[in-house]
Amino acid sequence: MEDLSNLYQEVILEAAKDAHGRKEDLEGGALAPSSHCAYASGFNPSCGDEVEIKVETDGEAIKEVSWKGEGCAICTASLSIMTDLVEGKSRQEALSLYKDFLGLMNGRGAAEAPERLKDAAAFKGVAKFPMRIKCALLGWTTLKEALGGEGK
Amino acid sequence: MSIRSLFPFFLANPDLAYLDSAATSQKLGAVIEKERIFSSAFNAPIRRSTYSLAFEATEEFENVRGKIAALLGAKAEEIVFSSSATGAFNLLANSLGYVEDPQSPLFIGEGDEILLSRSEHNSVLLPFQELARRRRADLKFLPMTEEGEVCGWEEAIGEKTKIVAVSRLSNVTGAFAPVGKIAKAAHGAGALVVSDLCQAAAHERTDVKALGIDFAAFSAHKVFGPTGLGFLYGAKPLLDLLPPSLFGGGMVESAWEGKRAVYKKAPWKFEAGTQPVSQAIALGPAIDFLKNREHDEGLFTRRLLEAASIPGVKILGPLSPENRAPILSFVVEGVHPHDVAQFMDANGIAVRSGHQCAQILHRAFGYPSSARASLSIYSEMWEVDRFLDLLSGVRPYFLKGE
């Protein structure tokens, strides 16, 4: 059970239950990418989990992140904590947080989380469960794609 | 001596509740030993050379073909070796795609229908979907009950139906399908019957002739044998008519510069390239074991079904233990199957989570994925007890405070 609480930190279980940014419906969504609205969808073929992310921007600043999808506790909590982290940041800052988070996941549990990852540091334990890393990353990689594809 | 002691895996993992036998079974010690002995002392090519060691290897290999045939109530010439059940279904669908004569009972043409149950594994669904696409045939699905049992075949099978594929035992619902009745209706309409026996082979003695199955497949690793080995059964007259779709050494009588090669008779015309020889020979003891087993799984199935009474647990499959094997797919409301499996893993239980290669069936049930506990002949009741105990703890752990 020690392993388990290492994976499912309290902050993760809480975020999974009360997921920030989750919407029943993404108004506009894929139909309305524009200079101030980016969109991407992500898919995890091993479990069939899907997520859609909509990012509303004001110039370089990320105003609001909303997402729709069903995932496991790790996936849902990661999306929620990511939403809190990147809202109000610039696009470059968000992409740099993505790189920090990716580094944490690829660290096999040995990497220390940079302070600016805040609650996302709780996913350090996930890195010791290789089968679950893609759950934690699904939201982040989809966000990265949305930000990269903005305005297209 | 307990059955469990015949499986070395459990000596190495005495405290693990291994509830994923529907994905792969543990291997008999006699299988592991047979492969080791053959590979270390008797390894030789089959059907190619004349020295005694090669002859003996060939004989042993062909003996296993006979054993498998006997297990299914078929003749040795009706069994084709393949790399897996997936390999066998691909072989069948690809070969059907090579049939050129529109008069052949195996010909699938434009507007013909291929009818599948919604519980078909991707290894059946996808080869036939590709066949239908290439031949401009229609792929259709049989209706199912709320509990995921196949129904409505009388209405669904029509004169355009050329193939009806229904797995004998679903890897998700754990329900046996009435393949015999479906075959009667299919044959009445002139359609062929294909049945996936991957799960059934571990839980019953399927008699392909009694059920009227024309083509079937199963794999060795689900019946206590090695990986990399599967079988296609085909009724002799049909197998004779079916063209090969894999070409190379071992399947040809004579090859020429200026004219088409002459191929061997069935089943050998389907076995191009070096076969999984040591694996096949090693499977022999497992087939003997399957033939001689006496194992009533009813008690296990009934106990496993007690999961249905745990709050928030929904079973994907029939709730009645009749016509059912101890394979239980379920969802825990509010908790993702991956989290369920992780929770179980941390407590010494191996269960499957995901769509179990049956996405169509999961969509029909309205869930993208599920978790699954599946037993086999070596399962013990303490494993099910631990599973049920842990299952009651899933929602309190993940949804505490709600």
Tell me the pLDDT band of B352, cut-offs 50, 70 and 90: very high
Confidence of residue A30 (pLDDT cuts 50, 70, 90): low
pLDDT > 50? residue A151: no
Separation of alpha carbons B289 and B282, rounded Å: 12
Sign of the CA dihedral running B29, B34, B35, B40: positive
Task: List CB contacts of B1: < 8 A, sequence separation 6 or more.
Answer: none
Question: 């008797």: which residue's tokens?
Answer: B42
Which member of A4, A7, A48 has the closest CB to residue B369? Answer: A48
Q: Are residues B282 and B299 in the same domain?
A: no
Phi and psi dihedrals of B102, rounded to 5? -60, -20
Could you give the number of structural domains in chain B?
A: 2
Q: What is the pLDDT of residue A33?
A: 64
B347: chain A residues, CB-CB within 8 Å: 1
What tokens appear for B194 in the block? Answer: 């294909």
pLDDT average, residue stretch B249-260: 95
- Cβ(B349)–Cβ(A11) below 8 Å: no
Q: Provide the residue count of chain B.
A: 402
- Considering only the beta carbons, identify the residue of B338, B347, B402 that sits closest to A72: B338
Q: Which of B202, B231, B232, B229 is nearest to B214 (CA)?
A: B232
pLDDT of res. A1: 60
pLDDT at A152 over 60: no
What CATH number did the domain enclosing A14 receive? 3.90.1010.10
Final residue of a structural domain among B291, B313, B334? B291
- Asked whether residue B27 is domain-assigned, the answer is no
Contacts of B336 in chain A (CB under 8 A): 47, 49, 70-73, 75-76
Asked if residues B340 and B394 have their Cβ atoms less than 8 Å apart, the reply is: yes
CATH (domain of B389):
3.90.1150.10
Q: Assess whether B109 and B69 both reside in one domain.
A: yes
CB B303 within 8 A of CB B384: yes
CATH number at residue B265: 3.40.640.10
Q: Choose among A3, A75, A76: nearest Cβ to B346.
A: A3
ipTM of the complex, rounded to two decimals: 0.88
Q: Is the peptide bond before A45 cis (omega within 30 degrees of 0)?
A: no
Contact B199, B171 (CB under 8 A): yes
B277 and B305 inside one domain: no
- On whether both B231 and B132 belong to a single domain, the answer is yes
Q: How many domains does chain A have?
A: 1
* Same domain membership, residue B324 and residue B269: no
Last residue of a domain, one of B268, B291, B314: B291
Backbone angles phi, psi at A62, to 5 degrees: -90, 115
Residue B356's closest chain A neighbor by CA? Answer: A47
Suggest the residue from B333, B339, B340, B356 to mutate for an interface test with chain A (most A CBs closer than 10 A): B339
In Å, how far is B147's CA from the nearest CA of chain A?
22
Q: What contacts A42, CB < 8 A, 6 or more positions away?
A: A50, A51, A52, A53, A138, A139, A141, A142, A145
Does residue B167 belong to any structural domain of this protein? Answer: yes
Cα separation, B286 vs A95, in Å, equals 55
> pLDDT tens-digit profile of B133-170?
999 999 999 999 999 999 999 999 999 999 999 999 99
On whether both B263 and B345 belong to a single domain, the answer is no
Residues of A in contact with B335 (CB under 8 A): 73
Q: Which domain holds residue A121?
A: 2-148
pLDDT per residue as tens digits for the range A81-126 = 999 999 999 999 999 999 999 999 998 777 788 899 999 999 998 9
Q: Which of B385, B388, B259 shows the shortest CA–CA distance to B313?
A: B388
Q: Summarize pLDDT for B1-52 with one digit per residue, the tens.
A: 789 999 999 999 999 999 999 999 999 999 999 999 999 999 999 988 889 9
Instruction: Tell me the residue range of the domain where B115 lies.
Output: 44-291
Does B185 reside within a domain? yes
Does a structural domain hold residue B37? Answer: no
Residue B47 token pair: 């059907």
B386 contact A CB<8A = no
- Residues of B in Cβ contact (< 8 Å) with A1: 346-347
CA distances from B70 to B63, B87, B169, B240, B267 (A): 11, 22, 20, 20, 16
Examine residue B329 and state whether it is found in any structural domain, yes or no.
yes
Q: Which of B262, B291, B320 is the last residue of a domain?
A: B291
